[in-house]
Structure 1
């Protein structure tokens, strides 16, 4: 009886250990992709986005928050849709997450160009601008579209 209980405990703890390990690995992947997503937004936006956010420029904060939320949609779906072994899941999450981030940033910049929004002027303004809401909505909407495309 004791041997059976110990064998079940070993199986249980092995299962828990693999699960905890997977959670930690996916969390690291998620954080890295979020940082990369922020860097992609910063790189494609005129000015230094971190400084503008720290300074509390309202449009920079709104657009950055929406951009980060859209990146999270893409990353969550990339992780959720990963299949196969843990290694295959991590690799597919990384690949789909990276491609999704590139597609989302490019789509937002294209939308800004088509609508003729001067993102540099908008994001650096100390006053709220309606165009910031359009760009923020575009981030969220396109993030959802790209996230579903990952599926």
Structure 2
């Protein structure tokens, strides 16, 4: 029993580190696709658009990681590797979806979602695109 607890704790730690790392990568993607400092915009300027975009990205990455963990077999190394691969793939696909949406809409989408004094409607579209893309990746995993 104690051996099982230690083994499962190690697995939880490994998956937790991977999940946090992938969410950090998701944060960096939002930072790169929006002008200015994301941290300053959210925590200092209280920019709701930037916060909504980041929240959707983090929820999407979390859903992909959770699905990858749930679908993994008993082999911890293979499970962690597949979680990393699916997580990075999901982040890349949300990035592609963002740039495709940017091509289809007027102006610079990254600037539009963070420059508005009020929450711009495009923020909801970007958030839905992120969550929808993450749901597609998560469904493909299981």
Calculate the TM-score normalised by the size of structure 1.
Answer: 0.83
Rg larger in 1 or in 2? 1
Could you tell me how far apart the structure 1 residues matched to 2:7 and 2:99 are?
41
Match of 2:6 in 1: 17
Match of 1:122 in 2: 113
Q: Residue deviations 1:3-61, cap 9 Å, x none? A: xxxxxxxxx11111111111111111111111111112211223322221112112111
- State whether structure 2 residue 34 is matched by structure 1 residue 50: no
Match of 1:61 in 2: 51
Q: Which runs of 5+ in 2 are unaligned?
A: none
Calculate the TM-score normalised by the size of structure 2.
Answer: 0.88
Task: Output the aligned Cα RMSD.
Answer: 1.7
Q: Which runs of 5+ in 1 are unaligned?
A: 1-11
Match of 2:81 in 1: 91
Distance 1:68 1:91, change over 3 A: same
Could you tell me how far apart the structure 2 residues matched to 1:17 and 1:122 are?
45
Match of 1:26 in 2: 15
